Amino acid sequence: MRYIIEHLEEKLYPWCLLEYTHISKMVGKDNLLFTNIAKKDKKKLSSLGTVHEQSVRHIPLQKACILDPFASSPLQPSDCEKFNYIIFGGILGDHPMKARTKKELSKFCKTIPTRHLGKEQFSTDNAIYVAKEILEHHKSLKDLNYQDTIEINIAKGESIILPFRYVLINNQPLLAPGFKEFLKKQKMF
């Protein structure tokens, strides 16, 4: 299975790089493609996977699927036989969701089937982890444990609430290595 991240943010933010590095470690560099990447950012991502400046909309793919929270059908283990590529929108989530994957990707790729991972919004690395578990380890959505909304302490008496769904591994939310430290160093939110 190959995983494609269609980068839909205006630039390659540091949090994106943390998540993309995490994803590369999860699926392997040879199984990861980044699309819609600015020329100036190609070098930053080239050690993590294959990088394309053009959008996935302009790359001919056989047996591809877009993961979109607003799709009508869930991703199933049997989809591993139907698809070779799973496309994710690399987007900073909004709360409540603004259906950006649907607006910026799904509606332009009408011939590519869509699936969802439930109606909750995941970080990109968590979405890829869940898809990988379903497609490569034949688990269903209900086989995994989740936590909706996490709170990360960043200073004494100060925390950040992330209103997204996270996979629980050993009862801990799956976060990119260094993500908590990154949040603690941020000056503005």
CATH number for the domain harbouring residue 74: 3.40.1280.30
Q: What is the pLDDT of residues 120-132, one digit of tens each?
A: 989 999 999 999 9
In a domain, 159, yes or no: no
Task: State the sign of the Cα–Cα–Cα–Cα dihedral 15, 66, 43, 126.
Answer: positive
The answer, yes or no, to whether residue 100 has pLDDT greater than 80, is no
Domain enclosing residue 12, as ranges: 2-139
> CA torsion, points 68, 94, 172, 6, in degrees to nearest 10?
40
In a domain, 56, yes or no: yes
In a domain, 119, yes or no: yes
Total of domains in the chain = 1
pLDDT value of residue 40: 95
Instruction: Note the pTM of the prediction, 2 decimals.
Output: 0.91
H or E element in which residue 161 lies: strand 158-169
In a domain, 95, yes or no: yes
Q: What are phi and psi of 116, to 5 degrees?
A: -125, 165
pLDDT value of residue 70: 86
Tokens of 150: 């996490």
In a domain, 39, yes or no: yes
In a domain, 65, yes or no: yes
Three-state SS at 16: helix
Burial of 111 (0-12, 13-18, 19+ CB in 10 A): exposed
